[in-house]
């Protein structure tokens, strides 16, 4: 059974970027390290393999090692190719599907925790809030370096998760987009009261402002709000709180009994 706390510490940085699946291989390698660090069958299996390793395998791992009384002629040594790098064998027990499943489980726990936190805070239906949380995560997954918590915090500040709200100024929907200022980001048939459209366009606007501000989030948020006093701090603080809520939920899931123990999971099922 994997040492769960060690594994959580190892993979947590990747789950903070879980919407970017290019981190999956790095996470798998990290899991491998945890497997080797833990006691039990995995360590025993690896130790057994090292104990019976052939001399040529040892030579491949350590070029300094010389096999006793088997030195090759100089000409042969010059002609022979360099030893191929040793690749991790199946004995490491890395199952990429298991790592991907774990990422999905942790993702779901993060989203659910954020929806429950917001529903309680705003006295709204968890199911309703979760729908918009899911949309924010989905939109963030299409962007580089943009956390879903930031989009969720903007939605909370702008509309309190009311997709049909409209201001006297003409700002519409979840992220309060003014259509006349951003017509080029919309198709003629699209409505800003559609949550999917609104979050997409609102995120486009935020990225545009971030680019013009050279990545300065506070400055971009100030422009997004029309220079509303205290807006940037409120959104940033709330996004950090949402990230904390998500991290706590992820930690609880990752150390839950039976998560990495197939026998326990089978028994529970």
Q: State the pLDDT confidence band at 215, using cuts at 50, 70 and 90.
A: very high
For residues 152 and 158, give the distance between their C-alpha atoms in angstroms, rounded to a whole number: 10
Give the mean model confidence (pLDDT) for residues 206-231: 97
Give the mean model confidence (pLDDT) for residues 25-35: 42
How many residues are recorded in the chain? Answer: 269
Among the listed residues 151, 181, 158, 160, the one whose alpha carbon sits nearest the alpha carbon of residue 228: 158
Q: State the pLDDT confidence band at 254, using cuts at 50, 70 and 90.
A: confident
What are the tens digits of pLDDT across the range 43-68?
Answer: 343 334 434 444 444 444 444 444 44
* Residue scoring higher pLDDT (38 or 85): 85
What are the tens digits of pLDDT across the range 66-85?
Answer: 444 554 554 444 444 555 65
- pTM value? 0.65
Report the pLDDT value the prediction gives residue 186, as an integer from 0 to 100.
96
Compute, in degrees rounded to 10, the torsion defined by CA atoms 199, 202, 208, 213: -110
Among the listed residues 149, 179, 185, the one whose alpha carbon sits nearest the alpha carbon of residue 167: 179
pLDDT at 190 over 50: yes
Q: State the pLDDT confidence band at 96, using cuts at 50, 70 and 90.
A: low
Give the mean model confidence (pLDDT) for residues 190-198: 98
Q: State the pLDDT confidence band at 111, using cuts at 50, 70 and 90.
A: very high
Taking the alpha carbons of 31, 140, 165, 221 in that order, is the dihedral positive or negative? positive
Q: State the pLDDT confidence band at 107, using cuts at 50, 70 and 90.
A: very high
* Topology of the domain covering 108-254: Lysozyme (1.10.530)
Bridge partners of residue 177, in order along the sequence? 172
What are the tens digits of pLDDT across the range 158-184?
Answer: 999 999 999 999 999 999 999 999 999
Inter-CA distances, 255 with 5, 12, 77, 101, 102, Å: 6, 12, 52, 15, 12
């Amino acid at each position: 059974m994997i040492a769960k706390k060690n594994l959580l510490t190892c993979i947590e940085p990747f789950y903070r970027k879980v919407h970017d699946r290019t981190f999956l291989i790095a996470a798998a390698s990290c899991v491998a390290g945890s497997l080797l660090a833990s006691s039990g069958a995995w360590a025993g299996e690896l130790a057994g393999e090292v104990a019976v390793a052939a001399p040529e395998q040892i030579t491949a791992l350590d070029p300094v090692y010389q096999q006793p009384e088997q030195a090759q002629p100089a000409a042969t040594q010059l002609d022979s190719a360099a030893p191929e790098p040793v690749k991790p064998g199946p004995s490491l027990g890395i199952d990429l599907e298991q790592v991907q499943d774990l990422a999905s489980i942790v993702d779901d726990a993060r989203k659910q925790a954020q929806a429950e936190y917001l529903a309680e805070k705003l006295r709204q239906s968890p199911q309703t809030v979760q729908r918009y949380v899911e949309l924010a995560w989905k939109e963030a997954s299409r962007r580089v370096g943009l956390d879903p918590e930031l989009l969720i915090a903007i939605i909370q500040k702008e509309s309190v998760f009311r997709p049909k709200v409209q201001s006297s100024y003409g700002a519409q929907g979840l992220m309060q987009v003014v259509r006349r200022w951003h017509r080029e980001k919309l198709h003629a048939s699209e409505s800003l009261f559609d949550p999917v459209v609104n979050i997409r366009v609102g995120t486009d606007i935020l990225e545009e402002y971030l680019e013009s501000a050279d990545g300065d989030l506070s400055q971009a948020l100030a422009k997004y709000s029309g220079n509303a006093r205290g807006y940037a701090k409120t959104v940033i603080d709330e996004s950090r709180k949402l990230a904390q809520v998500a991290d706590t939920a992820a930690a609880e899931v990752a150390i839950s009994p039976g998560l990495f123990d197939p026998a326990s999971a089978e028994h529970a099922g």
